[in-house]
Structure 1
Amino acid sequence: MRRTKHSLSPNFGGEGQGEGAPTARSDLTAPSPRPSPPLRGGEGESLLPAQFRDWFASRGWSPRPHQLALAARAAKGESALLIAPTGGGKTLAGFLPSLIALAQLPARRPRELHTLYISPLKALAVDVARNLEAPVAEMGLAVRIETRTGDTSASRRQRQKTLPPDILLTTPEQLALLIASRDAPRLFRHLQAVVLDELHAMHNSKRGDLLALGLARLRTLAPQHRRVGLSATVADPKPLLDFLGADTALVRGGEGARPSIAILASDAHVPWSGHLARHAMADVLNAIRQAKTSLVFVNTRAQAERTFQDLWRLNDDNLAIALHHGSLAPAQRRKVESAMTRGQLRAVVCTSTLDLGIDWGAVDNVICIGAPKGAARLVQRIGRANHRLDEPSQALLVPANRFEVLECEAARDAVMAGELDGERLKQGGLDVLAQHVWGSACAEPFDAGQLYEEVRSASPYRHLSREDFDKVLDFVATGGYALKRYDRYARLRRTAEGKWRIAHPRIAQQYRMNVGVIVEDPMVDIRLQAKGRPTGAGGRVLGQLEEYFIEQLLPGDTFVFAGTVLRFEGMREDAAYVTRTQDAEAHVPSYNGGKFPLSTFLAQRVREMVSRPESWQVLPAPVNEWLRIQEWRSIIPKPGQLLVETFPRSSKHYLVCYPFEGRLAHQTLGMLLTRRLERLRMRPLGFSANEYALAVWGLRDMGGVDMDRLFDEDMLGDDLEAWLAESNLYKRTFRNCAIIAGLIERRFPGKE
């Protein structure tokens, strides 16, 4: 083996407030040792009307300092960002000023929208609305609360424009539809507050771009409104403050008790590779038995299906264990959520669908199978358990292989030290801007200069040049330089006054049917039919799978989905028909976009741990032994070094390097290295990448290659451009941008 080192440059329901709190609740109270601004004596509580003070007292609670601080800011008309851990009472803090203001208005008043709440999840909006009804009813407040999501009927959505509720809870996509309506000026003219929940999960994404543009329009329509951002703990609050706008105050909630995080010390042999942790399923099931209710988090939908099956095979006690992920039918997900609310389940195997959103007070243990990929994500998931800030959340990390033991240790150390991942801020997407320009014309004719200034007031677009804006406007209006000759892409026209308007009413209908920035691969309904019935003869929908996976199946093939083994019977129109069966060798569906990238912050901590042999003493014996073998047979790279190993195996030759830069970077590096090795006549056959390493195999010995030249950074020039030009990455990225910008329509009038 050759080695080369290379240098590299009160919750609703009052969780945490005492005994007698309901089982299910949304995030609504918590203590804060550092209120901001400081409140003296009863100064904060004096902001509460008598009925609010009585309501808190009747439950044996006291309003938390950060809740009163937000009320004080609101009384001055100021915007604020509240940062508090999950379970820290953020949601009640966000709504409290609005409830106080509405309580002081006469019961008989004009129907005007007072507060707009925006959530990244429609399930969260519905859950918060349901929980908000309780204090409103108990205090006898004349406050009308409604939700607006994709599941809301068309008749109710239309009625909300003319007879709006006092408080409307919705999503970024529905906000985009509302501001693109001709009713928008009338709907929002009296808006007083916008509450943005789970802001940390939205702001630095294309959904965040869409939301920021919507907020910029709201500032034009209702300049008097204030904004409240609600966020879990983040490494740097400044990007969130910028997102909310100038002069936004920062309010911090209490840190609460440090979580109790254990890493599974299984008696079973820890594998060298793999991501399913099947060796530890008996230990996981035992942890479920010992807890009241557990959330079992995994990182992918495929892993969720397999983990659920593995647990059920061992579940001789018939513990009530359910499955929850984004490909399941909405009705099935709601069924699981309702069962959790009623305390009927002992565990739910879930993906990131439950990272945010509904909080269940009965959950007292979080189990994370596989490495968390980021300290912030681990904190978010741990916060799902034990929503009382004076008691530690319980979490169990279950590494699936020896490298993941290191990652789990690094993540736990970071969380206990209060250190979180940062993130690189992205510029606002021009495809999202094109969609917004399109929607703006649907609402009313606009002046290009005024819209440009409005767009630049949105944080992601503050550096947008007028030249780029004009190019986007031209693209929306004519299809751009490539499509000007085609009438179907002429969506906007200029009026005699020089303003831009939609070219035809159907353009507005097309916008309404295609709004949003979430681009999914073509999906197929999975319908369960009774055995013996002809294929296509009805059946309830279990959920959806990617079309490309279904296309690989033949009648009689089996696969695991929705927690059961299914036999593929055939396709009819746009649905795949299946029956129940039993097959221990059933396929697990593959899903696009299912893997979390490793954060750079966590990768650096793993590198540091690996490079310090004195830190290995805390590791399990098999992992310690594994690192000692690496040290004996090869080299342990230090931070700033790149280890490259070459060796023969099974008539092939291998080159393995350890950049510790994450799967996405390694996949790109693998493509570039294979191109260079081809030019060197090494005859590479393929490569494989994970979060920490990259392996290339070929037909010739690569040990004599000049590694400094092979890994020279000039590969990021012509080699990268040539590879991108030949790869599907450009095509896939162009398709996604074209869909968001409206060049490709996902839905057509009269069709689903």
Structure 2
Amino acid sequence: MQQSELFHIAESWFHQQEWKPFPFQKETWKAFLQGKHGLLNAPTGSGKTYALWFPIVLNYIKNSPEYKTKHKKGLKAIWITPLRALSQEIKQSAERITQDLETKMTVGIRTGDTSTKERARQKTTMPDLLITTPESLQLLLSSKGYAKVFKDCSAIVIDEWHELLGTKRGVQMELGLSRLKTICTDLRIWGISATIGNLEQARSVLLGPTSKAHENSILIKAKLNKKITVKSIIPKQMETFPWRGHLGLHLLEDVIPIINKSKTTLLFTNTRSQCEIWFQKILEKHPEYAGEIAMHHGSINKETRLWVEQAIRNESLKAVVCTSSLDLGVDFAPVETVVQIGGPKGVARFLQRAGRSGHRPGKESVIHFLPTHAMELIEASAMQKAVRNAAVEDRIPYLNSFDVLVQYLTTLAVSDGFYPDAIYPEIKQTFCYQAISDEQWQWLLNFIVMGSQSLKTYDEYKKVEVEEDGKFKVNNRAIAMRHRFQIGTIVGDAVISVRYQKGVYIGSIEEYFISKLTPGDVFTFAGRNLEFIRIKGMQAHVRNSSKRTSKVPSWMGGRLSFSAQMSELLRQELYTAELDFKKQSKEIKSLAPMFTKQREESIIPKPNEFLIETFKSDDGYHHIFYPFEGRAIHEGMSSLLAYRISLLTPITCSLAFNDYGFELLSDKEIDIQEVLDNNLFTSEYMLSDLQKSLNSNEMAKRKFRDVAVISGMVFTGYPHKGIKMKHLQSSSQLLFDVFKDFEPDNLMYQQAFTETFEHQLEEGRLRLALERIAQQEIVWKKCQNPTPFSFPIITDRLREKLSNEKLADRIKRMTKILTR
């Protein structure tokens, strides 16, 4: 059958639905039928599913002229989705095509939710089209005779590739694809990605930078001119002193008319706790919404989430308060309006959420931006520009994730075994392992066979055997079973309980915060000043302290930090405050009272200026620095600076930071001139100073637990009988200490440090920020009182010490004094 005839089949189907195929859909069909690989860049709700299901089915029709009467069973295409929640949706689209075109093709799903009965059935007869997740694909590669199952597969589509890129699940996918390229006789690899900054690199990672697939590939962009309108909700009464902690609830009544005007509204919050609070408050103030409003976030059970998703489709809900659990996929036609509560911290996330409204080709997307404090209006203004210029972040891919590679090699050894000489060239073609050396490869092979150098006397680390012909194989059934239970790369962040030495329980904090403390550090928690003594298992032992200065815990959800792109946009927007009033956006204009107050005590920095403010209060001496680089960078920079100052003069500092700047609070004054004269903002010796300033050993120890779990050095337990986090921690801690003392060149041990600095502390971005500050003129303002810019940072610190009511009263008193 000629291409024109195949196109005619597809176009007639579109015509029957009263649709017209988009140019990008036709371009994808054509490239696919020519045997090309590719990456399709298309926004949510643009018809991307039909862009790839169609050519897969048309290709089958082309190769089976008698497709209506004779059907050859067997797997023909795989569709990978990062989210199980989307699989039902994708299946419906595929079935619509296969049934309407009268093929006998079957469509099946295989995820963690698939029943044992269905899996058993798939074992004997695979569906023609399989929808699965990265983890389930690896599980299929761990079953005997997998090559026969995949042999005739002609296509693999990786949906939402931007979500997998820059994660270890993405690396897992790269490895799976490297194997399928070899065993499938005629495979086409396609990725679908929303807009990201580094699309070309995304294609390289997907196909392998040096592979034949990359040479014969195409990047297709959907030019749909989707209109996105951002509407800021500007408070009628503007605060001169913005502070965090309202969660935006003071603007709740401004949201009600928006909800009433739309059929369905999604209200996006950044954290689960904020989601819960907004849901409660709307119902409390507007009981008439009972039964018409729901909540959706990752901690809610699956049944409820599915019910909410269905209710949105039926238009039976007026509003849903949600977190990023509804960012992706799930196809909601009726959602008219989206409200973003608080800064989304990244352009890509904001555009993704905006795209949930008007979720149909050609429809306008409307997103309302609700600031939780005045400074966020600068973010709102920056977002308007980002949307106009389509400026989106890059997703940075991982390199040399040896833990994922160890897991993969064990997977291959569990199924049919592998010959290193055959697998090594496949692995070298992936983006992640393009620079792997022969020595590293040899080390990894030794590691899966004997355990590492320092563990070779222990049998439990000897998983793989080398057979006479050189094949690497797992022959022990118990090892194979344990490995299959542990396939995956998602390791949760653990929670540590905080207790007094005598055992009285105070509460629990994410271990990320605790891991950075050194014994003797004081932090404030549950209204008490506590001195950190030690970590024992999954408990932090503390005692009361009379020291006034303190560190304040932060939680994972509240730690969403600005992306590099967002920080740059925010700085550019802030600089417009000094421009002619006519050239300012309405958001910046509305902040005029705050900027006027800021100028009374201090300045609004210009592009070539870096602002430092100092003042004294009852709490001590405040030293505030404004890099406007986002929370994650300020966390590293504040520790670095505090450490360098302590080398000049013995001083105890407590640190606080937000997305705009950071504060060092101390009981005696820091000589800022001395800081500048000694060039303490230099990027020289940054890495070694950073390692000393943060408890990098403890941070790497926590990171190592993930590495140990993924590589299978520690076992997480059987289903419904998981091993407690504290046991996992102590097992991995033992290994970490052994490697530290006896085998510091162990690749897994080294990887823990690399990931701590590159991914957690974003060392590269921190270096660029310091280099930028070195080029700026430093303006040091000695203030009498807190300024509007410093206010959110100071009030953040108070939140830990006071209950919400007391905090609100204290802030009202402070604001009253400052606005006299």
Q: Distance in 1 between matches of 2:293 and 2:639?
A: 42
1:197 maps onto 2:159 in alignment = yes
Match of 1:3? none
Tell me which of 597, 603, 613 is aligned to 2:561: 597
Q: How many angstroms does 1:459 deviate by? A: 2.1
Matches within 5 A, 1:39-78: 46-50=5-9, 52-78=10-36
Mapped partners of 2:586, 2:574: distance in 1: 12
The answer to whether the aligner puts 1:659 opposite 2:659 as a matched pair is: no
**3-state secondary structure, aligned to 2:721:** coil
Match of 1:690 in 2: 658
Q: Specify which of 720, 726, 738 is matched with residue 708 of structure 2.
A: 738
Secondary structure of residue in 1 paired with 2:136:
helix
Distance 1:297 1:675 in 2: 38
- Counterpart position of 1:308: 279
Aligned equivalent of 1:610:
574
Quick check: 1:280 aligned with 2:242? Answer: no
Q: Which residue of 2 aligns with 1:536?
A: none
3-state secondary structure, aligned to 1:743: coil
Task: Say if 1:656 and 1:110 are closer, same or farther in 2 by CA, change over 3 A.
Answer: same
SS at match of 1:636: coil
1:447 is matched with 419
Alpha-carbon distance, 1:666 to partner:
1.2
- Going from structure 1 to structure 2, the CA distance change for 1:279 and 1:213 (only over 3 Å counts) comes to same
Deviates more, 1:681-690 or 1:157-166: 681-690
CA drift of 1:309 comes to 1.7
Alpha-carbon distance in 2 for matches of 1:371, 1:191: 44
Distance (Å, rounded) in 1 between the aligned partners of 2:396 and 2:105 = 41
Q: 1:334 to 1:643 in 2, by over 3 A?
A: same
- Which of residues 205, 225, 249 is equivalent to 1:243? 205
Q: How many residues align?
A: 651
Map 1:430-509 onto structure 2 (within 5 A).
430-509=402-481
Aligned residues of 1:66 and 1:253 also touching (Cα < 8 A)? yes
Q: Which one of 233, 239, 256 corresponds to residue 225 of structure 2?
A: 256
Answer yes or no: is the 8 Å Cα contact 2:238–2:591 preserved in 1.
Answer: no
| Pairing 1:91–2:49 present | yes
Deviations 1:672-704 (A, max 9, x none): 233334344453341111112111111001145
Q: Report how far residue 630 of structure 1 moved.
A: 2.4
Deviation, 1:159, is 2.3
Range with greater deviation from structure 2 (485-494 or 230-239) = 230-239
- Helix, strand or coil for the counterpart of 1:191? coil
Per-residue deviation, 1:259: 0.9
Change beyond 3 A, Cα 1:521–1:391: closer
Tell me which residue corresponds to 2:354: 382
Q: Aligned letter for 1:286?
A: P
Q: Give, in whole Å, the separation in 2 of the partners of 1:514 and 1:62.
A: 46
Q: Which moved more, 1:695-704 or 1:723-732?
A: 723-732
Cα deviations by residue, 1:102-148 (Å, 9 ceiling, x for unpaired): 34533443321001000110111222113332343334331200100
Deviation at 1:46, TM superposition (A): 4.1
How far did 1:400 drift?
1.1
Q: What is the distance in 2 between the residues matched to 1:496 and 1:69?
A: 51
What's the CA shift string for 1:520-569, capped at 9, x where partnerless? 14589xxxxxxxxxxxxxxxxxxxx99989xxxxxxxxx9xxxxxxxxxx
Shift of 1:621: 5.2
Quote the Cα distance in structure 1 between the aligned partners of 2:400 and 2:44: 28
Query: Which blocks of at least 5 consecutive residues in structure 2 are unaligned?
Result: 208-213, 497-507, 513-525, 527-552, 723-820
Which residue, out of 132, 144, 152, partners 2:106? Answer: 144
Local SS of the residue matching 2:717: coil
Cα distance, 1:705 vs. partner? Answer: 5.2
Shift of 1:715: 5.3
Report Cα offsets for 1:558-589 as digits up to 9, x if no partner: x9xxxxxxxxxxxxxxxxxxxxxxxxxxxxx9
Q: Which runs of 4+ in 1 moved over 6 A?
A: 545-549
Q: Say if 1:739 and 1:88 are closer, same or farther in 2 by CA, change over 3 A.
A: same
- 1:97 to partner: Cα distance: 0.8
| 2:127 is the counterpart of 1:181 | no
Which residue of the partner structure matches residue 261 of structure 2?
Answer: 290
- 1:640 CA drift (Å): 5.3
Question: Contact between 1:102 and 1:143, CA under 8 Å: does it hold in 2?
Answer: no
- Normalising by structure 2, we get a TM-score of 0.75
Q: Distance in 1 between matches of 2:650 and 2:594?
A: 31
Percentage of matched positions with identical amino acids: 31
Which residue in the other structure is 2:771 paired with? none
SS for the counterpart of 1:317 is helix
Task: Give the equivalent residue in structure 2 for 1:700.
Answer: 668
Question: Could you say which residue in structure 2 is the equivalent of 1:111?
Answer: 73
Match of 1:80 in 2: 38
**What per-residue deviation string (whole Å, max 9, x for no partner) do you get for residues 475-525 of structure 1?**
22222123222111111121112221125222211111011111014589x
1:268 and 1:280 in contact (8 A); partners too? no
- 1:58 offset after TM fit, Å? 2.0
1:721 Cα deviation from its structure 2 partner: 2.1
2:297 is the alignment partner of 1:325: yes
Q: Structure 1 pair 617/65, CA: closer, same or farther in 2 (3 Å)?
A: closer
What TM-score do the two structures reach when normalised by structure 1? 0.82
Residues 1:623 and 2:587 are matched in the alignment:
no
Whether the aligned pair in 2 keeps the contact of 1:340 and 1:360 (CA below 8 Å) is yes
8 Å contact from structure 2 (residues 510, 556) kept in 1: no
Aligned-pair CA distance for 1:632: 3.5
Q: Name the SS for the 1:251 alignment partner.
A: strand
Question: How far did 1:412 drift?
Answer: 1.5
Aligned-residue offset at 1:428: 4.1
Q: Does 1:349 align with 2:321?
A: yes
Rounded to whole Å, the distance in 2 between the matches of 1:369 and 1:596 is 14
CA contact (8 A) 1:180 1:439 kept: yes
Alpha-carbon shift at residue 636 of structure 1 (Å): 2.6
Map of 2:689 onto structure 1: 719
- 1:492-531 maps to which residues of 2 (within 5 A)? 492-521=464-493
258-267 or 704-713: bigger deviation: 704-713
1:157 pairs with one of 107, 115, 119:
119
Question: Residue type matched to 2:567 in 1?
Answer: A
Specify the code of the residue in structure 2 equivalent to 1:596. Answer: L
For residue 121 of structure 1, the aligned residue among 71, 83, 89 is 83
Identify if the C-alpha distance between structure 1 residues 49 and 719 changes in structure 2 by more than 3 Å, giving closer, same or farther: same
User: Using the alignment, how far apart are the partners of 1:619 and 1:330 within structure 2?
Assistant: 40
Q: Aligned partners of 1:166 and 1:274: how far apart in 2?
A: 53
Secondary structure of 1:360's counterpart equals coil
Q: CA deviation at 1:591?
A: 5.5
Structure 2 contact 205–397 (Cα < 8 Å) conserved:
no
C-alpha contact (below 8 Å) 1:47/1:72 kept by paired residues? no
Structure 1 range deviating more: 420-429 or 391-400: 420-429
Alpha-carbon distance between aligned partners in 2 of 1:45 and 1:694, rounded to the nearest angstrom: 63
List per-residue Cα deviations over 1:184-236 (Å, max 9, x = no partner): 11110100011111111112211100111111111121141101211112223
In the TM superposition, residue 299 of structure 1 has moved relative to its aligned partner by: 1.2
SS at match of 1:48: helix
Residue 92 of structure 2 is matched in structure 1 by 130
Q: What code does the residue aligned with 1:86 have?
A: T
Which residue of the partner structure matches residue 30 of structure 1? none
Change (3 A) 1:692 1:417: same
Cα deviation for residue 311 of structure 1 reads: 1.8
**Contact 1:324–1:349 under 8 Å retained in 2:** yes
Greater RCO (Cα-Cα under 8 Å, separation 6 or more): 1
Cα distance, 1:350–1:503 mapped onto 2, change above 3 Å? same
- Residues 620 and 77 from structure 1, CA distance in 2 versus in 1: closer, same or farther, beyond 3 angstroms? closer
Asked if 1:637 is matched to 2:605, the reply is yes
Say whether the 8 Å CA contact 1:442–1:502 is kept in structure 2: yes
SS in 1 for 2:256: helix
Indicate conservation of the 8 Å contact 1:510/1:749, yes or no: no
Q: Amino acid of the residue matched to residue 264 of structure 1?
A: I
Alpha-carbon RMSD across the aligned residues, in angstroms, is 2.5
State the AA in 2 paired with 1:506: A
Partner residue, 1:579: none
- The AA in structure 2 aligned to 1:699 is D
For 1:690 and 1:704, locate their aligned partners in 2 and report how far apart those are by CA, in whole Å: 21
